[in-house]
Amino acid sequence: MKEHLKSNELDGRVAVVTGGATLLGEAISRALVTAGAKVLIGDCDPAGQGVAEELGPDAAFVRTDVISDTELDMCLQTAENLFGGIDILVNGAAIHDEKGVSATREEWLRFMNVNLVSPVLLIQKVLPYFQTRGGGAVVNVASGSAKQALPDQLLYPTSKAALLYVTRGLALNCAPLNVRVNSISPGIMWSSPVIKMTEGDRSIADQIASSAHIIPRCGTPEELGDAVVFLCSSRSSFITGADLAVDGGGAALGAVSKASVMKQLAALYEAG
Ligand SMILES: NC(=O)c1ccc[n+]([C@@H]2O[C@H](COP(=O)([O-])OP(=O)(O)OC[C@H]3O[C@@H](n4cnc5c(N)ncnc54)[C@H](O)[C@@H]3O)[C@@H](O)[C@H]2O)c1
């Protein structure tokens, strides 16, 4: 397993990470802590408590449903109370099990609410906290699927495509506050949903990912964490409104290969 790159480049910074209760969010949180930050994990899954405990005294958890404005406010206030301010926001919480073309209005609204409106409102709400620190950095977790036509998927990629626009629009509008807003677009990662689909068989996951990525395997959670640290650190000080593909070159390969992979994934999912 790749170790997170150790550094002190986020010493003294405080990060709020939504969606930190499963593998990818945990790795992002771990990478931030390893780089010196204190991290508050906000997730509706109480498993986030165990993740925070494992990360040690520089991490904490508050149960947060991102579609509740009150709970978003509480999450930010908890970070301020525990760690004295907020410098970094990672919007990672998302839903992905969808019905594609047959989705109802309720399902559309639910996806947009969790995957798009909540990250935007959380950015809006964190700005006053950033201002007291003289600025901040936001990383929105998008997806390589935002730029592809995919079988049986519509809601999730649409929500992530809109998140890419939001990243650009908010980068412009938040720049006067010294706030940078970027996104990352993961490819197929060794993650909780992929583990579930492949019943934990890494070789199946790597085989499927190999036809979607130039680097012929799944990405690791640690590789995603390192990309987030980069976008939050001063090493990326001239980068805003950008999308960083963490996809083993998947975006360079294009839609055709990706679509065949998604078919394989969908078949696996249905079989499970
Ligand atoms: N797994 C991949 O290969 C992959 C690829 C591209 C993008 N992503 C993105 O990475 C991020 C993590 O995804 P994952 O694959 O680990 O999936 P996951 O389902 O394991 O993680 C999503 C997390 O979001 C949380 N969440 C969902 N709804 C919430 C709500 N209303 N309030 C608070 N928390 C909520 C869940 O509890 C969970 O901890 C997501 O943004 C996803 O879109 C993942």
Q: Helices 23-34 and 221-232 sit at what angle, rounded to 10 degrees?
A: 50
Flag whether 209 is in a domain: no
Query: For residues 38 and 59, is the Cβ–Cβ distance under 8 A?
Result: yes
How many whole angstroms separate alpha carbon 83 and alpha carbon 204? 42
Flag whether 165 is in a domain: yes
Distance from residue 94's CA to the centre of ligand 1 (Å):
4
Flag whether 93 is in a domain: yes
Residue range(s) defining the domain that contains residue 113: 14-189+221-249
How many whole angstroms separate alpha carbon 8 and alpha carbon 264? 41
Residue to mutate, 16, 18, 22, ligand 1, most ligand atoms under 8 Å from C-beta = 22
pTM: 0.94
Atom 35, ligand 1: residue with shortest CA distance: 93
Q: Is 89 left (phi over 0), alpha (psi -120 to 50) or beta?
A: beta
Average pLDDT value for residue range 61-80: 98
Helix (H, G, I), strand (E, B) or coil at 89: strand
Would the pLDDT of 163 be above 90? yes
Residue to mutate, 74, 191, 196, ligand 1, most ligand atoms under 8 Å from C-beta = 191
Atom 11, ligand 1: residue with shortest CA distance: 92
Flag whether 216 is in a domain: no
Query: For residues 219 and 176, is the Cβ–Cβ distance under 8 A?
Result: no
Q: Which ligand 1 atom is nearest residue 67's CA?
A: 31
Report pLDDT for 259. Answer: 63
Atom 36, ligand 1: residue with shortest CA distance: 19
Report pLDDT for 150. Answer: 84
**Which strand (E) or helix (H) includes residue 124?**
helix 118-133
* pLDDT, tens only, 167-180: 999 999 999 999 99
* pLDDT, tens only, 117-150: 999 999 999 999 999 999 999 999 999 999 988 8
The edge-to-edge listing of strands for the beta sheet with 59-63 is: 59-63, 38-43, 14-18, 88-91, 136-141, 179-186, 243-246
Give the pair of three-digit tokens for residue 223: 């590789």
Flag whether 266 is in a domain: no
156 is catalytic: yes
Which of 206 and 254 is assigned the larger pLDDT? Answer: 206
Distance from residue 141's CA to the centre of ligand 1 (Å):
9
Would the pLDDT of 243 be above 90? yes
Domains identified in the chain, total number? 1
Contact residues of ligand 1, CB 6 A cut-off: 18-19, 21-25, 43-45, 64-67, 92-96, 114, 141, 143, 186, 188-189, 191-194
Distance from residue 64's CA to the centre of ligand 1 (Å):
14
- The CATH number that applies at residue 85 is 3.40.50.720
List Cβ neighbours of 122 (8 Å cut-off, separation of 6 or more).
Answer: 16, 18, 66, 72, 76, 89, 91
Would the pLDDT of 39 be above 70? yes
Flag whether 180 is in a domain: yes
Residue to mutate, 24, 98, 111, 159, ligand 1, most ligand atoms under 8 Å from C-beta = 24
* Mean pLDDT over each residue of the chain, to the nearest integer: 94
The CA R_g of the chain, rounded to the nearest whole Å, is 18
